[in-house]
Each structure stands twice: as C-alpha cells, then as structure tokens.
Structure 1
C-alpha cells in the first residue's frame, strides 16, 4: 500500500488466495510501486503489521520490511496487527473486537474503542479460547463489532449469539479482514507521535509460543523424566 504525505491512498493490493507470502510479497511490492507511480527511492517510511498472527507470515513480512528500511535508510514502524484491524473500522460508541486465529479453538483478541479521532486500547492482546471470549463479549454494556479471520471462522457462533439477544455484530465484508491501508495510516500516525523502531531489533509480537516450541519443551521434559 502506498500513502502520500497528506494521507492520500495511492494504491493498495488486497488478495485472498492460498499463495504464501514468500511467493507473492516481493512481486506485489514491485507491482504496487508501479501502480502508485512511486519510485522506491522516494519512500519515506515502511509500516509493517507486527503481529500477533501466523508465525511464518510474520517472519517473512517483517524480514522483507526490515530489509527495505535498511537498504533505503528510512524509518520502520511495527504496527500491532489487532490495532490495525480495529483502525479500519470507524465505529464510534461501541467496542471493537479484532480477533485472529490462534489455533485449537483459541484466538488472539484485543479490545478498542474510538475517542474522537483517536483509537484507544481497552484491553491488550491476549490468547484465549473463542468460547470464553464470546461469553465475555456478549456481557459488555456497549455494542461489540467483531472482525478478523477468527470472526469469519466463528461467524455462525457470533450470529447465534446475536440472534439470542447479544449486542454483537460482524464488521462488514470490506472491513472484516486486515487492510494494508489501515496498517499504513496507523503507522503514519505512530510515526508522527515519534514512534520509530530499529530495523535491526524489531521483532514480531507473537503473544504465544509456536507449536514447535511447545512440542520441543514437552519432549525435553519427557527426556529429563526418563
């Protein structure tokens, strides 16, 4: 996604296919710059979705963004993925509940609300079971707007809760999934606030350990018991 100094969206690519980041990310960057008619040397900063999310996807995306920022000697801003999801939903007067798949019935979840033109974090990102999270969301005193891939995965459960009287709603299709434009706009706001990350030390916000790490720890524990 390309953005001008006055927050004008020049170009954005949104694609939902089974191709991986490693197959399409760099070609998409080249295509995006061509569509926006922007030379890479004219880029002023790089904003990257920093997680939580897919472990592999985060590593590929962050490594690419860091390489660009380092090569072009421009700032890099790591934008929390859940905050970027909420940022793309202008729904004042309610609670925004971006949620991503954390596997095995669990989700990454954070809560936000708008205060004027400022997005406020109500609760920080956590990992919890979707069932537990839905039960708590339906008890809130304000309307709740759910978004993210987990909201799509658990669409039926959310709609069932709504039909039972809960004030919880799915974001519209054009807002329910992550948008590069939201990452860029929130990244620009963070940059204006003086938030800049070091491309050598910026790390993904995993929130939880990977399944491989948990399996390794379990094996090590079994080995010590033997």
Structure 2
C-alpha cells in the first residue's frame, strides 16, 4: 500500500512515504514556513518511495492537538491528496503516537507538546491506555495526573522543556525523559497507522476535523475585545 504521512504539529516539518521502492522520511526545520515547503517535501518522499502523490492509497494527518496553523495545514494538504488520489484518510493522534513506543512502561507516561505561554498539550498513559483526554495545562496542574511514588516517563517533541518545569512542580526522583518527537514523527505515523490502533476512512469530510483543545489566538483576541465592549 502506498502511504503518505504528514506531520506539521511542531516547527519541524516531517513527511514520510512508504511504497514499492521502500520507506523514506524527510524532516525540515522550516519554523513557520511549512506552507512554502510542504508540496516540495511531499513530492520528494513519494518519488523516492516509488509512487506519485496521485497514486497515494492512504494519507496520515495529525488529528491534534498541536499548533492551530500546523493542524490546518496538514488537513488541507491531506484533503488535496485525498481529492487527487481518492485515497483513504488516517487521522493520527500525536500524543498517543508519541507514547505508543512506551506502552509496556511500568508507570505513567506523560506525552507532551509545547502549547506556548508556559502551557502544554498533555496526555497521560499507563500500559498503553490513555488516562485522560488531551488537556491544555501548565506543569503544576499536570502534576495532578500522576502519583509521585510511581515511575514517570516524559516524551514528545518538547519533553525536555516540560520536564524542567514539571520538576519544580513535583520534585520526584524517578523521572525518565525521552524526547522522541521531532525525529521522524511522520515515519512514526506510518508505523502507528499499521499498528491497528486507528481506523481509516474514505475521506476527510467523514471526520469532524482536528482536535484543537485551545482556541486560536484570533478567537481569543476576538473574545477579549467582545468582553471589553460588553463590559463583562
């Protein structure tokens, strides 16, 4: 099966393809310029994998949470691929994908993405099972998700940054930090899609869209202005 995966959740643009010529992954530190690089990146990986974008049979996109702009870009690119190829779509939950390699960990796995403003998108797992829905929390509130007596593993693209703030909120000794995000996460999407933990559908319109968890800056600014004018 010709598979294309797109990850734009973080400042690192990651795309991967698996086809008749093998599996190819590409990461580009493009910052806020994902939109300018994504088409070229997709063409590059599918070509090396032995198929064209129109021959894609499954496209994997992040279901969220993550960067508002990044999620919209990934879904837009996925929709374009789906319309051109009539392929199936596989939304991948990034936090669960980051935690998946540690499903046998005996303790709590905290999967995190930096949500800015000293807050994090976070989800806790124990033995591969999610304990909570993706949340938008600061490190102090995230400490309530775990027992300080248990072994804690922190993973995700911003694991090290979160661990620094988390250690101040919950000074425990048995903490392992493995920042697996940002290293071929699109390739991990391909592996996760093949794990049987997610369902494929025929088209993106069959989904409600990505999980944003937090309002966009524009929505928050609009809400703030409306409160000022309403006096609330």
Residue 54 (structure 1) aligned with residue 67 (structure 2): yes
Deviation at 1:131, TM superposition (A): 2.3
Residue 148 (structure 1) aligned with residue 148 (structure 2): no
- Provide the aligned C-alpha RMSD in A: 2.9
Contact 1:96 1:146 (8 Å CA) reproduced: yes
Which stretch has the larger CA shift, 102-111 or 142-151?
142-151
Contact 1:2 1:11 (8 Å CA) reproduced: yes
Does the C-alpha gap of structure 1 residues 89 and 170 become closer, same or farther in structure 2, counting only changes over 3 Å?
A: same
Q: Which has the higher strand share?
A: 2
Normalized against structure 2, the TM-score is what? 0.79
After superposition, where does 1:169-208 map in structure 2 within 5 Å? Answer: 169-171=176-178, 173=179, 175-177=180-182, 179-190=185-196, 194-196=199-201, 198-200=203-205, 202=207, 203-208=209-214
Structure 1 stretches of 5 or more lacking a match?
none
Match in the other structure for 2:39: 26
Contact 2:108 2:146 (8 Å CA) reproduced: no
Does the C-alpha gap of structure 1 residues 125 and 55 become closer, same or farther in structure 2, counting only changes over 3 Å?
A: same
Deviation at 1:153, TM superposition (A): 2.3
Deviation at 1:105, TM superposition (A): 1.3
Distance in 2 between residues matched to 1:184 and 1:131, nearest whole Å: 34
Does the C-alpha gap of structure 1 residues 206 and 165 become closer, same or farther in structure 2, counting only changes over 3 Å?
A: closer
Match in the other structure for 2:219: 213
Normalized against structure 1, the TM-score is what? 0.81
Deviations 1:21-69 (A, max 9, x none): 1021111101101222223344221111121111111111110011101
**Number of aligned pairs?**
215
Structure 2 stretches of 5 or more lacking a match?
1-15
Deviation at 1:204, TM superposition (A): 1.6
Deviation at 1:120, TM superposition (A): 2.1
